[in-house]
Amino acid sequence: MNSQFMRITSRFMIASVLSLGLPIQSAYAGIVGTDKVAAAAHTQSERARIGSYLEREDVSKALQAEGIDADAAKARVAAMTDEEVLKVAGKLDQVPAGGDVVGVLLTVFIILLVTDILGFTSVFPFTHSAR
Amino acid sequence: MLLNAGSVMASPQELTEQVYLPGREGSLQIEMLAAARRNGLIAYELAPELNDLLIEVAAGSPVLVLQNLALSWYPRWHYAVVIGYDLERAEIILRSGLERRQVMPLTTFEHTWKRSGYWGMLAMPPGQMPRTATESAYVASAVALEQAGHAQGAAAAYETALLRWPTNLTARIGLGNAAYATHDLQRAENAYRQATLDHPESAIAFNNLAQTLADQQRYAEALIAAHQAVSLGGAEQASARDTLKQIEIQLHASKLLPEADTSPPTKIGN
């Protein structure tokens, strides 16, 4: 048995166990959630939803690895949609994070100074684009 | 700033806790969207078009944009809020970091914005609609707000969507679900009933209508709707069967208990 098969199987097993008490399900018995309306239109399966549930755990752990405490990470993941979770799952360290980055290497400094003046970039407040 | 424009009061500290990632010394795009929802606003991602951005700004909505101020191989990601522009002078006005008013040549802005894939978002009160909104994207943003736990805000957003797209099924059922979540059964019933009229093929509309009627002890009507939901089938047929079963149980209980009826329970419907 190859490892890929084992991975899929174990994932499926985890999913089946988890699906017994899926919290994403509509909080009200008898009411089908709004997300299912669009899902039905796209014939999105139960499996995709369970996949997203697992990915939520992954994203929450990844946030914790970047310095967020467990409760805050949980609340932050809860505000994301299934689609958004799938977009960043497994690559939280690669997607852009906007902020102010410190420390500019000298060589890069010079390149950016030139490109700034040409108007391709806007790193330094003291440059005035030639354009 | 963006949230304040959306008439939400949030302090920078509170927001930092919702979006800042210490390990990355910055914030992710999806967390910016999520934070707007956590504060009860519609988070709407704009189409990656300068024209759409300018339309929204002209309409008075500040737009949060992600820029890469440096180069693709040496990224310096930065969020700024577009608050104005001057096409004659080819300038764009940003609120950027601690600068209240940064004037940047439009071409420079385009270069820096292009490197983020022209990413921009709006944070809007649920009663308002972005000028450039598309039906599916706007309704999806309302669903996301509902799932973030803001039923009341989501209801307002669904109402707004229905004014423009009156037969949108997701918005109609969403309105029902949001009303149901706030225990407004009458409003929920009205929405579900309208959904069954506009979309007689929707099992979910009939299922949710059945549940809402049963909650009001109107079992006879509830059973008709529940049977219709089951017979329509579809991806949610298991839920529909479950709803039908629960209604039958409730109906029997309501018949047996108050009158101490000893006759065997009769099956209603088929």
Averaged confidence pLDDT in chain B: 89
Average pLDDT over residues A67-96: 90
pLDDT value, residue A19: 47
| Closest Cα in chain B, distance from residue A8 (Å) | 24
Q: DSSP letters of B101-159?
A: EEEEEHHHHHHHHHTTTS-EEEEE-TT---TT--HHHHHHHHHHHHHTT-HHHHHHHHH
Please say which residue of B124, B144, B175 terminates a domain.
B124
Q: What is the number of CB-based contacts under 8 A between chain A and chain B?
A: 177
Residue-wise pLDDT for B131-148, tens only, equals: 999 999 999 999 999 999
| One domain for residues B113 and B11 | yes
- The CATH number of the domain holding residue B75 is 3.90.70.10
Please report whether residue B38 resides in a domain. yes
Comparing alpha-carbon positions, the chain B residue that sits nearest to A86 is: B30
* Residue A111 to residue B37, Cβ atoms within 8 A: no
Residue B3 scores a pLDDT above 70 = no
What is the rounded CA–CA span in Å between residue A72 and residue A81?
17
> What's the whole-number average pLDDT of chain A?
70
Which of A50, A56, A52, A65 minimizes the C-alpha distance to A20? Answer: A50
DSSP B160: H
Residue A120 predicted with pLDDT over 80: no
Tell me the average pLDDT across A30-54. 70
Cβ contacts of B208 on chain A, cutoff 8 Å:
30-32
pLDDT band of B18, cuts 50, 70, 90:
confident
C-beta of residue B127 within 8 angstroms of C-beta of residue B161: no
pLDDT (tens digit per residue) in B34-64: 988 998 899 999 999 999 999 999 998 889 9
- Whether B220 and B117 map to the same domain: the answer is no
Structure tokens at B147: 């799932």
- pLDDT tens profile B78-95: 888 899 999 999 999 998
Report the complex ipTM: 0.78
The reply to whether B10 falls in a domain is yes
Residues of B whose CB is below 8 A from A108: 70, 74
Are B211 and B116 in the same domain? Answer: no
Residues of B in contact with A43 (CB under 8 A): 235
Q: Could you tell me the pLDDT band of residue A72, with boundaries at 50, 70 and 90? A: very high
User: How are beta strands B42-45 and B120-124 bridged, if at all?
Assistant: antiparallel
In a domain, B251, yes or no: yes
Work out the burial of residue A101: count CB atoms within 10 Å of its CB; fewer than 13 is exposed, 13-18 middle, 19 or more buried. middle
Chain centroid offset of residue A58 CA: 9
d(CA B23, nearest CA chain A) in Å: 4
* Cα distance from N-terminal residue to C-terminal residue, chain A: 63
Question: What is the arithmetic mean of pLDDT over B140-166?
Answer: 96
pLDDT at residue B270, as a whole number: 44
Domain end (from B124, B143, B170): B124
Interface touch A30/B234, C-beta < 8 Å? no
**Do the Cβ atoms of A24 and A57 come closer than 8 Å?**
no
Confidence (pLDDT) at B131: 96
* B6 plus B115 within the same structural domain: yes
Distance CA(B100)–CA(B113), nearest Å, equals: 19
**Per-residue pLDDT at A108:** 45
Across the interface, do B107 and A101 touch by the CB < 8 Å criterion? no
Instruction: List CB contacts (< 8 A) between A71 and chain B.
Output: none
Tokens 């299922």 sit on residue: B207
Please tell me the predicted confidence (pLDDT) of residue A98: 85
Lowest mean pLDDT among A87-96, B13-22, B247-256: B13-22
**Contact criterion met (CB < 8 Å) for B111 and A121:** yes
B269 pLDDT band, cuts 50/70/90, is very low
Is it the case that residue B249 has pLDDT exceeding 90? yes
Q: Tell me whether residue B170 is in a domain.
A: no
Q: How confident is the model at residue A2 (pLDDT cuts 50, 70, 90)?
A: low
Q: How far is CA B142 from CA A4, A34, B13, B37, B148, in A?
A: 38, 10, 26, 9, 10
Closest Cα of chain A to B38: distance in Å? 6
pLDDT in tens, B179-190: 999 999 999 999
Q: pLDDT tier at A52 (50, 70, 90 boundaries)? A: confident
- Number of domains composing chain B: 2
Chain B residues within an 8 Å CB radius of A115: 71
To the nearest whole percent, how much of chain B has pLDDT over 70? 90
| Residue at which a domain ends, from B90, B105, B124 | B124
Domain that holds residue B17: 2-124
- % of chain B exceeding 90 in pLDDT: 68
Evaluate if residue A107 carries a pLDDT over 50: no
